[in-house]
Chain A
Amino acid sequence: MTAIANSRRRQILRLIWDAEHSAGEIASTVDDVSWPAVSQNLRLLKNAGLITERRQGTHRYYRADRRALGPLEAVLRQMWTRDLGRLRDLAEAEARFRRRRRD
């Protein structure tokens, strides 16, 4: 479920990476199930500071804030730190399991 939601947000980000698009345009392009889901994804992205919103009349326009995605080093460091943390947990669990079996 998380991965699906994640890929939809990615899809939105890709669409508005280089050009501003209206909420309607985004909703018609992203293969999301419903407008509320698209709207909620846009709100999440906005709250996270990843996209900017501009209102004009009754329309809302969105664009990715590429600076917010951070430099490559930061992204990579975060990726490796998170993933190596998982590796540590798995390896430690396996080591404990083997020790118990030996005892």
Chain B
Amino acid sequence: MTRLSLRAASAEAKLLLIGIPVAIWTLLPIYHLLLFALSPKEQAVSGKLWPEHPTLHNFSMVFHQQHHYLSHFWLQMWNSLIIAVAVGAITLFIATAAAFAISRLRVAGGRTIMNLALFTYFIPAAFLAVPMYKTMSSYGLLNSQWALILAMVTIATPYSIWVLKQASDKLPLELDEAARIDGASPLQLFRLVYLPLMMPSLVAVGTYALLLAWNEYLYAFLLLSDDRSTTLGVALGSFLSADDSPWELLMTTGLIYALPPAAIYYVFKRYMVSGLTAGAVKA
């Protein structure tokens, strides 16, 4: 059929009616980000829909650290990266081991431990910020990046365990039994059978923890107060501490800071959707 039936056309129209506002809602801030980043300083707030003389000058300023707010741009970018990767890796290690023990080895009390871990989400992370600060201070970790890494791992782990546990519950138990009969020790089972089959979920959970740490502001702000140890996210916030904020540079840096997560999401989106929803429904 070349002509759409009325029914299909109306269904399409309804989808567009929802989709277009959502797209505008989402894209408008990003458009602003881009607009500021491409505008010369004096035109940034001119109210035009597109700058008369679009320029990459702002990017050059950021990359060459030519503003006192940006004096540690590359170092802070590196800090953000190191912390995010470390949080992703450590969370993944803890959550995978825990999920394997609870779901496959059926360790006694495993379920209780998982539920206790999930229970921590009843308390908003913001409430825990001050106790966390006290704790890190008593361990002498303030201003050390380990403080933020440990805090973020603490926050990311319960959900990660839960997602991985749900995903591994879906692997048939016969595979473990077959491997045991084939002669596998628990460690060999973990390495040779469990890990390869869990790969999609592992990628999803690792990315989740990594992005959580990358986007974290509150804890980073509290635990890392030195300009040289803090993350780029916190540095962006400090742009607003003066009256004459360089908006075009703030927006440019923000745009740059948003690119790695977008790239990571794009590369792993296949895993993200299937992996994070894998644990969503208790089958």
Do A and B pair up? The answer is no
Interface residues of A (CB under 8 A from B): none
